[in-house]
Amino acid sequence: MNINRKIRFGIVGLGHIGKRHLEMIRCNQDTEVVACCDLLPPGDLGLYIPGISFYQDYEELLANHPEIDVMNICVPNGLHAEFTLSALDKGFHVVCEKPMALSKSEAEQMLYKSLEVSRHIFVVKQNRYSPPSLWLKEVINKKLLGEIYMVQMNCFWNRDKRYYQPNSWRGSQIEDGGTLFTQFSHFIDIMYWLFGDIKNVKGIFKDFNHSDLTDFEDSGLVSFEFVNGGIGCLNYSTAVHNKNLESSVIIIGEKGTIKVAGQYMNEVVYCDIENYKMPVLKPSNPPIDYGAYKGSAQNHHYVIANVVDKLQNNGSIATNALEGLKVVDIIEKIYQLRDLMEIKHPKPDTLQYYLNHVHIGGQKENLKS
């Protein structure tokens, strides 16, 4: 049944991304925020949210607002599955920030629960909405490049002590999960969206300058074959000095070559396709500005619009739970190789911090994403 009124949202986690969700929902004429939840009170978060119920206990929010249609999960990565399952149990649809989960088994539980209760999971992969990504999808769908020979994806960003701060969930193996989960799952999603699943994965992983900041690698070189044909590689690092360098993809095909680059794959810098003239694309939105560092493009308003379209008009989901699961599966395949190399540097306080702060009901939660 379609919803013929404003879509009612709840938000759990009001860090950088949670605030972005709040802003986008409040700016959409077809949506409204009913309730929010975070460990810190609104004043400490720098928020003024009159008319919106606020909780510091997620279970209280779930129990007191059966009128909510959609719960937005903006908590640390390691809590995505648990918080999503609780929301689905209450009969809410879910918008889940990337990554959907930190393991394939968790993502499967989320998918099965959504089917069991007949509720949708919208997985946030905002890079799909950028003009270059939409253009690439059209080129691939129309097979304008012919057979795909080779794909190279490069993700070279800066994430230093300005980002990985003490007593934060960022950098924790349990709550963060790793560089590919938190920083670059957007780009692995684009790769899967365009070219499908991978096999025969090989990789080299290093921790160059994050040994005192994170539990995991900061750089990797990964090669693989696509199940649908062609070979590919993913080269990534967060050890870049001072600021982001680029995120780019090079596609070499039977009938053409493409390179899309920029800090977040926002510019088509090379296109040579047989008997094809490239159209003029709309400009990409700017990156999310966190002050000391930059994130991906500001496309969250498209995510909220997609939720509205699905629930009011029975439209299609831009990134569904199965696609979110496949991205987690690909990262898990890669990290199975990383974990064999024993390059992690566990922070001594990580597990205790997790046990002290992360609980769903009645205890302290670190919900800032």
> What would the pLDDT profile of 191-231 be if each residue is shown by its tens digit?
999 999 999 999 999 999 999 999 999 999 999 999 999 99
Query: Considering the domain boundaries, does residue 48 fall inside one?
Result: no
Query: Considering the domain boundaries, does residue 93 fall inside one?
Result: no
Q: What is the mean pLDDT of residues 25-51?
A: 95
> What's the domain count of the chain?
1
* CA-to-CA separations, 223 to 199, 226, 286, 358, in angstroms, rounded: 9, 10, 30, 36
Provide the CB-side half-sphere exposure for 109 (13 A, CA): 13
Query: Considering the domain boundaries, does residue 319 fall inside one?
Result: no
Compute the mean pLDDT over every residue in the chain, rounded to the nearest whole number.
90
Residue 203: domain span: 128-289
What is the rounded CA–CA span in Å between residue 83 and residue 237?
30
Query: Considering the domain boundaries, does residue 15 fall inside one?
Result: no
E strand residue ranges, 93-197:
93-96, 121-123, 148-156
What is the rounded CA–CA span in Å between residue 308 and residue 287?
24
Q: What is the pLDDT of residue 283?
A: 86
Picking from 19-23, 33-37, 261-265, which range would have the lowest pLDDT averaged per residue?
Answer: 261-265
| 166: its two tokens | 């003490």
Query: Considering the domain boundaries, does residue 152 fall inside one?
Result: yes
pTM of the model: 0.90
- Phi, psi dihedrals of residue 217, rounded to the nearest 5°: -65, 155
What is the rounded CA–CA span in Å between residue 156 and residue 331?
17
CB–CB of 321/121 below 8 Å? Answer: yes
Residue 76's contacts (CB-CB under 8 Å, 6 or more residues apart) are 13, 169, 172, 175, 176, 358, 366, 367, 368, 369
Question: What percent of the chain is modeled with pLDDT above 90?
Answer: 83
Q: What is the mean pLDDT of residues 251-268?
A: 95
Is the per-residue pLDDT at 275 higher than 70? yes
Residue 226's contacts (CB-CB under 8 Å, 6 or more residues apart) are 148, 151, 195, 196, 197, 198, 199, 232
Query: Considering the domain boundaries, does residue 178 fall inside one?
Result: yes
Query: Considering the domain boundaries, does residue 174 fall inside one?
Result: yes
Is the per-residue pLDDT at 159 higher than 70? yes
What is the rounded CA–CA span in Å between residue 164 and residue 150?
34
Query: Considering the domain boundaries, does residue 356 fall inside one?
Result: no
Supply the CATH number for residue 144's domain: 3.30.360.10
